[in-house]
Amino acid sequence: MSHPYPSLQADNTLGLAIHACHRVIAETPQAILNAWREAERNRQPFILLGEGSNVLFLEDFSGTVVINRIKGIHIEQQEDAWKIHVGAGENWHTLVESTLKQGIPGLENLALIPGMAGSAPIQNIGAYGVEFRDVCDYVDVLDLHTGETQRLHREACAFGYRDSIFKHHYQHGYAIVAVGLHLHKEWRPVLTYGDLTRLDAATVTAQEIFNAVCHMRRSKLPDPRVTGNVGSFFKNPLIGREQAEKLTGSYPGMPHYPQANGDVKLAAGWLIDQCQLKGFRVGGAAVHQQQALVLINAERATPQDIIELAKIVRARVGQKFDVWLEPEVRFIGAVGECNAVEAIL
């Protein structure tokens, strides 16, 4: 028997069989506004999605889900930089590819990150030594209460590690409709992580970095079109220097990255791998065989399977290292976003 409500299975990259009361595809800011006003009139919950590449639905959503498909890329060349205005519904990787093809470097380290441009500032997406904040000029935000759009320049976005003001003050009642990027013409390669450290900074091209990043990601991360996943499920933890020194004493090979503020970032995937959890399964959910940081929908997983697996992973790493992982993915309940750490305690 068919379900009376629209399916969101194609709208979340975990491929969970979730439904919502209403599903709206919005190609303009006005379409988002109209859907929000309708939900408000009906006193129904409302959520905005890009590609659903960083969400875990815990259950069916009892309101309106709007799929942001606002398009458009406008490039303005200045004397020392390129300014790029991008609609929030543009695919992020396609944007990275298209800028490189036009001879505009700067986004190559952020290749193959799933999702839409409008989601990039929320998470302050990052990979291989570069974060969204490094290339951000501004973020255009639609205030759904007033119908007015305001432009937040980078300093106002309060970017942190996988964090921003869009997870806090601008989380409810606002919609990101565009982002502005500032890419310097005086390009400097960032070669601090993985296979990139083997490249020669004096001769390397942005295209070579792009190719290397794509190769690394494809070799470790499953394609969500084939195997449901949200990429990195957990954040790389930040710990104090004293605890890091203790751990590196016990585990000399442990990857660790000192930060400017004195904290030390650890590799969550390595910590999980040390607990022999690759391939570990709960129901239809599993820890990916190639990259322990990725939890996958191996076979018709339910949200409960994913949550139970995440609980076990967090507990095992905590018991072994006294380091407590936090999900990077956003957890969505029946009426909206909920606290992901509390859900897997």
Q: Give the E-state strand segments of 185-312 in sequence order.
A: 228-232, 238-239, 256-258, 264-266, 281-282, 285-287, 294-297
Q: Two tokens at 162?
A: 């996988």
The SS3 call for residue 96 is helix
Active-site residue among 154, 162, 314, 330?
162
- Annotation says 219 is catalytic: no
Q: How far is CA 258 from the centre of its chain?
A: 23
The SS3 call for residue 193 is coil
Active-site residue among 119, 217, 328, 330?
328
d(CA 181, CA 77): 12
**Run of H or E including 321:** helix 303-321
- Annotation says 217 is catalytic: no
Place of tokens 């609980």: 311
Neighbour count for residue 285 (Cβ, 10 Å): 26
Q: How far is CA 79 from the centre of its chain?
A: 32
Amino acid 275 reads C
Helix axes 206-220, 92-101, angle to 10 degrees: 150
Helix and strand numbers (H, E) in the chain are 8, 20
Active-site residue among 131, 232, 314, 316?
232
- Annotation says 232 is catalytic: yes
> 344 with 321: CB under 8 angstroms?
no
> 187 with 103: CB under 8 angstroms?
no
> 326 with 341: CB under 8 angstroms?
yes
DSSP string covering 123-154: HT-EETTEEGGGTEEEEEEEETTTTEEEEEEG
d(CA 310, CA 204): 39
> 137 with 200: CB under 8 angstroms?
no
Catalytic residue list: 162, 232, 328
